[in-house]
Amino acid sequence: MKPHVNIICVCVGNKYNKTHVNRLKRMVDRNCNLPFSFYCISDVQQDVNTIFINEDLDLETYWWKIELFNLDFKEPTLYLDLDVVIQNNIDYLFDKIDRTIKTISTEDIGAEYPFDGTPNNILTIPAGSINTSIILFYPHLHKEIYQKFIRNIDYNIVHYYGLDRFICHNYANISFLDFSKDYYHRSKGFLSDDKLDSDLMNYDPERTICVLSQCNDKHYEKLEKYFL
């Protein structure tokens, strides 16, 4: 008997909307043969199972992913950012789940997140070594992350400038996905058109998931066969 699994995304604020959530759900439908439940953590009712955020936390949009670590799910769970593209079957990914948080190493994708671009923050915001565009985990094992964040929420928001930095500096129970097979990374969406076109030529259809650093319509025009 195949195990039941969870697949979850986060949609809060105005950057993404129901169209993006439904697009991800269609890609999951195409590429997951396991029995699964699909959820979205959101501030509005979605067309899928919706888990509502605790608005009393009053977080910036990019912090709401912290709600992943307040879930009681005991089943194998896959989190995906709304700007990823699933290219092939994802069933085998769930076999990788263990007692760690399995995510992406920034060393693999050639990216670092040392600060937010403001010169005054160069020395005050720690560098990050993980990218949580994809997370494989058992949520109930990692509620310590949420609890630690909540205990000193104002300091954590100012000091870490995002969940990835907070996790990698406050949690040791992390392992990494296999860059050579599981996913590949695309350049950020603010590239000029000529550089973006060059980047798109490097697209690898053999990888399971395409991780897009920033949502860009031109990326999706080239990959639309995966989600239409």
Q: pLDDT by residue (tens digit) across 55-102? A: 999 898 889 999 999 999 999 999 999 989 999 999 999 999 999 999
What's the rounded Cα separation, in Å, for the pair 13 and 64?
Answer: 10
pLDDT given for residue 108 in this prediction: 72
Which run of H or of E encompasses 102?
strand 101-105
List beta partners, residue 131: 104
Residue burial 158-169, b: 16+ Cβ < 10 Å; e: rest:
eebbbbbbbbbe
Domain harbouring 56, CATH code: 3.90.550.10
pLDDT score, position 115: 42
Tokens at 49, concatenated: 């199972």
Helix, strand, coil tally for the chain in percent (to 5): 40, 20, 40
pLDDT per residue over 164-221, tens digit each? 999 988 999 999 999 888 998 876 555 556 665 565 556 788 889 988 766 566 667 7
**pLDDT score at 103:** 95
The number of domains in the chain is 1
Please tell me which residue, 223 or 207, carries the higher pLDDT value: 207
Q: Are 65 and 133 in contact (CB under 8 A)?
A: no
Tens-digit pLDDT profile for residues 25-56: 999 999 999 999 999 999 999 999 999 999 99
How many helices (H) and strands (E) the chain has is answered by 7, 10
> How confident is the model over 153-168, as a mean pLDDT?
90
Instruction: Give the model's pLDDT for residue 200.
Output: 58
Residue 96, domain extent: 5-226
Give the mean model confidence (pLDDT) for residues 155-170. 89
Q: What average pLDDT does the segment 110-118 reach?
A: 47
This prediction has a pTM of 0.88
Inter-helix orientation angle 153-160/163-170, to 10°: 110
**DSSP string across 26-39:** HHHHHH--S-EEEE
